[in-house]
Structure 1
Amino acid sequence: MQSASVTPERPSGRLHRARALYRNVSKRRTAWLLLKDTVNSCIEYRILGLAAEAAFFTLLSVPPLLLSMIGLLGYVDDWTGTDTISSLQTNLLEASRTVLSDKGVNEIARPILDDVMQGGRPDVISIGFLFALWSGSRAVNVFIDTITVMYGLDGVRGIVKTRLVAFLLFIAALLIGSVALPLMVAGPDAVVRIVPWSTTVVQVLYWPVVIVLSIVFLTTLYHVSVPVRSPWVEDVPGALVALGMWVLGSFLLRIYLQNTVEGATIYGSLAAAVAVLLWIGVSAFAVLVGAAVNAAIDRVWPAAATAAARAANERLREAQVAEYVARAAAAREADPDDPDMPSEFPERWSRFLPPEDVTARLRTQVKSSQNAHKGGGEEPSGSAEK
């Protein structure tokens, strides 16, 4: 592996360095190194739990976002027309029946929609949209933090800057997703209905264009999440892996949902929400695995920028550790009458253990001491009787 302090002689990118470093290493061995590093990263950084966290915040942002967008229709009803608003309201009420009971739809969902869509509620628009922005950017922040830690660059970018980047990425994803997701779900037939003269072109180019745009978006997400700049194209492998895992995971999830959620199910009215949450979780998991692949590639064939940033981050940590050790030594010299207790005393660990653990260890120590004293006191009497 290339040292973090070594700068590549030729500016031809990571591909040349990979050939130079692994000229005598078999492709199977190199693939095994990347696979092992990726799996270790997924286990070490709790990819599954972080994907669940991102899925939760993403799902949490959907209802207020939809409600705020619906509230805008109260101001543009002259452009959209009453038929569009009534059709949208009917579809939303039908969708809410998959989560709420009939009583909940009639007493909660319908009055809210009537109030929002007919009256034009600025409070619903503003508060709902702000909450959606916070929740959605919080989900994106999970991706950015995880990718940064995978590269060993945690602490390089500040908290405020990280949240700002997450907010901007969420806005960009919102704008792109509002156009791309309906087209991906509807398929090429929906585009043909909009542009009837382009039937042949759409049928041929639709899915290639969708795949290319998805790869571009994922690569950009990985590229922006890393605190230091590296060539954009070097993040493409992770995007390819993430897209492949997303397709495979969505296929397997569809089979699972068909056998467990559809029809009579223990989830009842929550079946639709559970299905959406699982799909978002699978998508988040695929994105994080792709990030782990990119981080593994960077550790095996480090880029100059990330290697230098990691070296600087390690030097900063070493300086912090040295400062802490010096402070502890100064404290011991200032108070020499209070030496460290032996390791057998549980009080030594009182700073690191919860209070209940310290109490349990103290009681165990006291009981063992009492038993030792009792045993020592009985031996002389026994010997005297003899």
Structure 2
Amino acid sequence: MRRGPLRLILRTLDKAWWDNIFSESAAAAFWQTLSMPPLLLGLLGSVGFLGDWFGPEVVDAVHDKILAFSRTVFTANVVDQIIGPTVADILTRGRSEIVSLGFLLSLWAGSSALASLVDSITLAYNQYLVRNSVWQRIFALLLYLVCLVLAVVGLPIIAIGPDWLVSFFPRDYQDDIAWLIQAFYYPAAAIGLVLALATLYKVSLPRKLPWHRGLPGALLAMVIFLCASIGLRVYLTWVTSTGYTYGALATPIWFLLFAFFIGLAIIMGAQFNNAIQEMYPAKMTRRERRRWRRLEMKRLAQRMHTEEGYRAWRNGQVQDTPKEAPRAPNGTPLPERVDEQAEQRGS
């Protein structure tokens, strides 16, 4: 089959099927669910300290922004029953847990979801065994800490940034600027999420590819995420309309399915990037070319050293071999004096 979109799609689906994408997505969903409380503890508990620096209105703005964003993704039942109480409890009482040993344990538990995604991404790129398994787990923890610090710094900026930005403009233009910010807020958030996913695809690999190679998979992951979110909202709306009992059961089920589709979208994006890399390999970067030259020079030097050692060994073996004494026609060794006389006569 010739190279083309159809072969690219078939290669992506085939590789994803043989890599057990549904099992990998289910494992990612499990670790996401298990890691959510410690993740929120580390994130929102750290944000709670910002109230001492910037005032309590920053914490309130972060709380309102989280709930407002959650209502655009989740249903009202999920926000009111799961996310809202958890966020409020951690923002008010989570600060005391930050300085405890439990917080250090929560960092390890919270990084489990990211570790599961890193494992799935490296498996999709056929690089699962390249990095040591222990170092890969530590790498996921370090990556989680970096993301946690960026989120702690970024959440207040996202929460108070739009209002703070509007205040820089004249009063006559503030309404128009506020409307523009409101109109482009979610597209900018979507673009930021795509860029973050492309970065995740790059940094997760032991043998890294160019950053732009992660963009196609990140876009595909975004499309899968949006379609899954819309489908799950329709599903939950239909289920809750059948009765209260089914609606109460549907809320946790919906949350687990949402976590499952998050993992599915990220892993499918990695599989798509790998299929593109197999069909249209990326050119080596300057760093890779320099490393390749160093490896080739190292192999050449090692080969030359081996050949020189072999030649030296052969020459030494020839020099150490004793000279065979001359023999008579009947096979009897001749005496040394007879040998010398024969040599003198020959000369």
Q: In 1, Cα distance between the equivalents of 2:57 and 2:122?
A: 48
| Contact 2:12–2:271 (8 Å) recurs in 1 | yes
Find out whether 1:62 has 2:62 as its counterpart. Answer: no
What's the offset of the Cα at 1:244?
1.2
What's the offset of the Cα at 1:259?
1.2
Find out whether 1:218 has 2:222 as its counterpart. Answer: no
Task: Report what 2:142 is aligned to.
Answer: 168
Q: In 1, Cα distance between the equivalents of 2:100 and 2:193?
A: 30
Q: In 1, Cα distance between the equivalents of 2:118 and 2:93?
A: 40
Which amino acid counterpart does residue 185 of structure 2 have in structure 1? Y
Q: In 2, Cα distance between the equivalents of 1:70 and 1:211?
A: 22
Match of 1:292 among 268, 271, 275: 271
Which amino acid counterpart does residue 11 of structure 2 have in structure 1? D
Find out whether 1:259 has 2:242 as its counterpart. Answer: no
How far does the alpha carbon of each residue in 1:326-361 deviate from its partner, in whole angstroms, 9 at most, with x for none?
A: xxxxxxxxxxxxxxxxxxxxxxxxxxxxxxxxxxxx
Which amino acid counterpart does residue 171 of structure 1 have in structure 2? L
Find out whether 1:98 has 2:72 as its counterpart. Answer: no
Find out whether 1:48 has 2:26 as its counterpart. Answer: no
Q: In 2, Cα distance between the equivalents of 1:61 and 1:280?
A: 11
What TM-score, normalized to structure 1?
A: 0.55
**Structure 1: gaps of 5 or more residues:** 1-21, 100-104, 313-386
What's the offset of the Cα at 1:147?
1.9
Match of 2:6 among 28, 32, 41: 32
Match of 1:130 among 92, 104, 110: 104
| Contact 1:69–1:125 (8 Å) recurs in 2 | no
Q: In 1, Cα distance between the equivalents of 2:161 and 2:245?
A: 38
Q: In 1, Cα distance between the equivalents of 2:207 and 2:217?
A: 17
Give SS of 1:98's match: helix
What's the offset of the Cα at 1:175?
4.3
| Contact 1:98–1:270 (8 Å) recurs in 2 | no
- Judged with a 3 Å threshold, the aligned counterparts in structure 2 of structure 1 residues 301 and 58 are, in CA distance, closer, same or farther, namely same
Q: In 1, Cα distance between the equivalents of 2:273 and 2:189?
A: 22
Find out whether 1:199 has 2:178 as its counterpart. Answer: yes
Q: Which has the larger radius of gyration?
A: 2
What TM-score, normalized to structure 2?
A: 0.61
| Contact 2:16–2:268 (8 Å) recurs in 1 | yes
Give SS of 1:274's match: helix
Q: In 2, Cα distance between the equivalents of 1:96 and 1:239?
A: 27
Find out whether 1:237 has 2:216 as its counterpart. Answer: yes
- Judged with a 3 Å threshold, the aligned counterparts in structure 2 of structure 1 residues 73 and 208 are, in CA distance, closer, same or farther, namely closer
Task: Report what 2:257 is aligned to.
Answer: 278
Match of 1:158 among 107, 111, 132: 132
How far does the alpha carbon of each residue in 1:156-209 deviate from its partner, in whole angstroms, 9 at most, with x for none?
A: 11123212321233234334556778999x9xxx86545443324414543342
Q: Percent identity?
A: 31
CA RMSD of superposed structures (Å): 4.4
Q: In 1, Cα distance between the equivalents of 2:239 and 2:30?
A: 21
Which amino acid counterpart does residue 98 of structure 1 have in structure 2? Q
Task: Report what 1:249 is aligned to.
Answer: 228
Give SS of 1:303's match: coil
| Contact 2:121–2:267 (8 Å) recurs in 1 | yes
Aligned ranges 1:176-195 → 2 under 5 Å:
176-177=150-151, 192-195=162-165
What's the offset of the Cα at 1:72?
6.1
- Judged with a 3 Å threshold, the aligned counterparts in structure 2 of structure 1 residues 78 and 135 are, in CA distance, closer, same or farther, namely closer
**Structure 2: gaps of 5 or more residues:** 68-76, 167-173, 296-347
| Contact 1:141–1:166 (8 Å) recurs in 2 | yes
Q: How many pairs does the alignment contain?
A: 264
- Judged with a 3 Å threshold, the aligned counterparts in structure 2 of structure 1 residues 290 and 182 are, in CA distance, closer, same or farther, namely farther
- Judged with a 3 Å threshold, the aligned counterparts in structure 2 of structure 1 residues 125 and 63 are, in CA distance, closer, same or farther, namely farther
How far does the alpha carbon of each residue in 1:364-384 deviate from its partner, in whole angstroms, 9 at most, with x for none?
A: xxxxxxxxxxxxxxxxxxxxx
What's the offset of the Cα at 1:43?
1.0
Which amino acid counterpart does residue 260 of structure 2 have in structure 1? G
Find out whether 1:227 has 2:206 as its counterpart. Answer: yes
| Contact 1:34–1:297 (8 Å) recurs in 2 | yes
Q: In 1, Cα distance between the equivalents of 2:219 and 2:121?
A: 16
